[in-house]
A and B are shown apart, each in its own frame.
Chain A
Amino acid sequence: MTKQQVLDLYFLDARHKLIEIAAFLDRVERADGKEDFRLKNFRTALAKLDGKKKNRAKNVLLAFSDPTIKPIGKATSKGATGAYSKIK
């Protein structure tokens, strides 16, 4: 596809998602209480959208990922939060 075709097919969808992210950040900021590791991960991931860098999707996923290599001692839950923290 040409750049024009990609924009024709996906621009409005991407614009919609970008505004949703902006509104989410405003919503968190307005709310009372403390942030947690998820928002810190989120801000790190947002920085991966820098216009000069390639492989943005991969780099965003890496920003949310557990970078360690050893198995954990025991699985105490089944779910995932979507963001990595050394201390959960």
Chain B
Amino acid sequence: MRYIEPHAHMVSRTTDDYERMALAGCEAVCEPAFWAGFDRSSPDGFFDYFSQLTEHEPKRAAKFGLKHFCWLCINSKEAEDVKLAEEVIALIPKFLGRENVLGIGEIGLNKNSRNELRVLEMQVELAAKFDQLILVHTPHLEDKLKGTKLILDVLKSDKRIKPERVIIDHVEEHTVEMVLDCGMWAGMTLYPETKCTPARAIDILETYGAEKIWMNSACDWGVSDPLAVPKTALEMKKRGHLANAIEKIIFSNPKKFLRQSPNFKLGS
């Protein structure tokens, strides 16, 4: 069973995780830039992080036969400081030409503040200016509904942004419909405690269809499971989904979206 892990923070994971993912059938892993669990003290910290994502991590993944791709941005948890955000955003264009960069992400909102919204708009502008794909992080728990609405308003108001080139991640039952109705892609994150369980993710697929949806583990330094995607594929099999329907969700759909970036190339 081959699959693509479209959202994983591998800088926080061990080489054992790379090995287990490869053994489970993973062919490529895509890593959005996100919060490190602490605030960086300067733009230099982001420069080093972007270098890690574009230089070091692809080599680590390659040792296990995995292609590694990444997304670049300043994340919403560090977006309250607008001056810092401006300086970090100014760094990004020089990295966009690197061969494993897929686009701008994961941008979005965390607590739905005015400054977070301003930084989101700045990064949507960056994506539009450089014709980049966009990957969006929606807020956690009680903030998700409001944040998703605010994010969609920003994206829909910019006519340069093509909805089919945007994925809104971490959708749940109360946000998936509004995302799909906008013509954007929806990502379901499979977490043990928050976001979607495998059973609920499959419920969403059965309810809303499988045309513009993918699943990811979003594994990072917190409670998360790098094998969440293949485990959900197994759950789909237990529920009677056919092999081609499973492959569509875990391989063909992410490939269809990601290959809109010229940098997304799988091996032979």
Contact = CB atoms under 8 A, between A and B. Distances in A.
7 contacts: A58-B173, A61-B173, A65-B146, A66-B112, A71-B113, A72-B111, A82-B141
Interface stretch (B2-10, B92-100, B114-122, B254-262): B114-122
B145 interface: yes
Interface in A58-88: 58, 61-62, 64-69, 71-84
Nearest to A65: B145
Contacts of A72: 111-114
B103 interface: no
A74 B141 contact: no
B174 A75 contact: no
A9 interface: yes
Interface string B166-205: 0000001110000000000000000000000001100100
B142 A74 contact: no
Interface of B: 35, 77, 80, 110-117, 139-146, 149-150, 172-174, 199-200, 203, 238-240
B199 to A, nearest CB: 7
Nearest to B197: A13
Contact of A58 (B116, B117, B144, B174): B174
Contact of A81 (B80, B141, B149, B150): B141
Contact of A61 (B77, B116, B172, B239): B172
A55 interface: yes
Interface of A: 1, 5, 9-10, 55, 57-58, 61-62, 64-69, 71-84
A2 B111 CA distance: 41
A75 B116 contact: yes
Contacts of B110: 75, 78
Contacts of B77: 78
Contacts of A75: 80, 110-111, 113, 115-116
A64 to B, nearest CB: 5
A51 to B, nearest CB: 18
A49 to B, nearest CB: 14
B139 to A, nearest CB: 7
Contacts of B115: 74-75
A65 B239 CA distance: 30
Contacts of A81: 141-142
B2 to A, nearest CB: 25
B173 A55 contact: yes
Contacts of B80: 74-75
Contacts of A74: 80, 113-115
Tell which of B110, B114, B141, B142 has the most Cβ of chain A within 10 Å.
Answer: B142
